[in-house]
Structure 1
């Protein structure tokens, strides 16, 4: 590992920040700006770090940023995978494996996520269901998932260990959804049998959830591509949704769309959720 080039890293981040407009990342421009591009505090919010922390990185001051922070900044600035890897090298770190998100979200999927934000709840996950980005309507629907740490970043982990999240879904669907999530996880486990992150997730779920142990023992293998879900939201009521999964080949990450089922009143309730459910939410960067 080399020592990196903090000045070059600062210059690169500053240049990328100045090229972005608020509308490029799903923000409202607001009052007239004195400088081009995003403000540092806006990048910090999008990356879920403090403004002071981001300023220190862009000014080449302080401790070397962690891989997780670099991934979150790459997500906030809508960097490509190659640009993300470049940022890690400038920081003196080996780029993470392409299948490891570490806070990074595929730039192409982020563009779609931003475009969907006003009307369709959507989130981005990696292949172990780590939620790396949500639009604000998805945060209003499921709660903030992308900002979690450790195993709690994984939706499948939360499904089997977090009753509050699970309670939003219709009880009659719980068993079938659990089977779908586990069958999808087994696809990843088979593709990377020696990966420590995959192994840690499976081991933790095996230790903590009897339901997961029973479901894992079924040996079902099927990638998750589409499913129908019924949610009971505490503010807007019953939501009948078609969840479609769009996979990006370069990163292996998935965009999960929560489309309203026609004729159910769900579209109107999502419009209401867009008003009452996101009023107190900061910009968020959850299936």
Structure 2
């Protein structure tokens, strides 16, 4: 049992990351971790050649099972559904591939994949598992997994965020955006927003939020510059959420909204505002995400 505990603890952050990328929900990822441990504790470790691969297989299968219930919840969700934001440790941003894979923009792209396609893409492209290991996990032949991986890569490539952006470019854009929002500066926002910028809001029917996406720099700028609350009660705090720049919005000191940014070519192309309080519990402490143990 001590050996099982040690192996699980060693790979815990990696397993959480796998489940989170599969589900887009930290709460559900935590449940998957519990289910993974219960099954792992019953395994005869003498039969396990690769503990990491075995644990990932359990976590992935549990995530696939849970995706079905999440799908039913989304069908009755009020307004836009956004992934649950995570306050992340600085080293997540340092791992470019990991940060890219857990960004709000990428998680929304992964939402457009079928469950098995999502599992194959995540395990191959992010966690670099071999095709035969993935085949065992999703109960397909290696040849079928290769075809699924090819199809998923093409699907994601057509929708994923554009090329890499330098740290300096990201910092400049996020700081300019924050200044413009704080000052209610419409022109400042127009200067930093891409013409086709999209703003999505998620209140889950609990907090007031946009029920439909807002598209276009002019509409988004005017919405962000409008003052719906006393400016003295509003504060914006820069943070790294899902490995990328974000603003934590507080009203009278209380967490109200997590606003994450997608930045391409020096301009803000995507804004994701999560207000649903049920999705903000992981904003109290930084979450360690890992691609490796």
Q: TM-score, normalised by structure 1?
A: 0.30
Query: Quick one: higher RCO (CA 8 Å, sep 6+), 1 or 2?
Result: 2
Q: TM-score, normalised by structure 2?
A: 0.30
The structure carrying a bigger helix percent of its residues is 2
The structure carrying a bigger strand percent of its residues is 2
